């Protein structure tokens, strides 16, 4: 168990962590994409519901 944790610690030091500007950019990209997809599927669902209500 201790060997595993030691190896994890060693590998985590090798990780290239994003800088503050990169992190902000990535966060904005993810939030924009998620918002777009959520609105898209909301509109599709709303349209399908309206079509089914007409039948």
pLDDT in tens, 24-34: 999 999 999 99
What would the two tokens of residue 43 be? 């509109």
The band of 5, judged by pLDDT with boundaries at 50, 70 and 90, is very high
4 is a domain residue:
no
Mean pLDDT of 35-39: 98
- Residue 7 falls within a domain, yes or no? no
**Could you tell me if residue 14 is inside a domain?**
no
- 40 within some domain: yes
Give the structural domain span for 36.
Answer: 19-55
Beta strands in the chain (DSSP E): none
Domain contains 49: yes
pLDDT band at 19 (very low <50, low <70, confident <90, very high): very high
Task: Give the per-residue pLDDT at 39.
Answer: 98
Domain count within the chain: 1
Whether 31 contacts 24, CB under 8 Å: no
Say if pTM beats, i.e. exceeds, 0.75: no
């Amino acid at each position: 168990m201790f060997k595993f944790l030691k190896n994890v610690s060693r590998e985590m030091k090798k990780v290239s962590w994003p800088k503050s500007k990169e992190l902000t950019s990535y966060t904005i990209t993810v939030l924009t994409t998620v918002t777009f997809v959520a609105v898209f599927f909301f509109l599709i669902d709303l349209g399908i519901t309206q079509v089914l209500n007409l039948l």
